[in-house]
Structure 1
Amino acid sequence: MAETFSHGTVHVAGEDMQAALLADEEALALWQALTPLARNEYICWVDDAKRAPTREKRIARTVESLLEGKRRPCCWPGCIHRTDKAPSKWQRDNLLKEK
């Protein structure tokens, strides 16, 4: 098992997400093998949940997705919090207006 838990480029995984990944050795190994940008997308997707039940479902889905070989969350337009690249036109038009 890894000595340290790897986070994203912008986001830090919450304790609940870390616990779920640490509880599954295979999922944790897959998580650690992701690029920092890929980890960031999963963390941003989980953190974007407005309600605790949705967050819990997204954390469970993250573990399932990793075990299925998926390297990014499905249907996620991407993190709007990154400072190394400007948000896409779609993100500006649809996500940033809401924030």
Structure 2
Amino acid sequence: MDQDPTPQPAERCTAAHIEDPTPCRGPHDAVTILDGAGNAAAGCEHHGARMLASIDGARIEPGSVVGAATRAFAASRTIRPFCWYEDAPRTEPSQLSHAENARQG
């Protein structure tokens, strides 16, 4: 039987935004992100932090990795919403990270 030589894309966690080019880091169920309506997405710590930074009113719950939710929450405070849009103008408070807004008062 012939094998398909075409490389297959690596599976990513459900917290990874389709336009975010970064790979997952760690288990795909390290954290769970909940939006304001209660919808949940399991994710790696990396994409969990990015999703948390990008969804207003989101919250994080622990998953399979001890301490991952705490680390992802801390990281999310320094990440700009939709940070993969690198040339997007960042002039409004809603476009800045929580840390940037805190520094500006």
TM (normalized to structure 1)?
0.31
Larger radius of gyration: 2
Considering fraction of residues, name the structure with more strand: 2
Considering fraction of residues, name the structure with more helix: 1
- Report 1 or 2 for greater relative contact order, CA contacts < 8 Å, sequence distance ≥ 6: 1
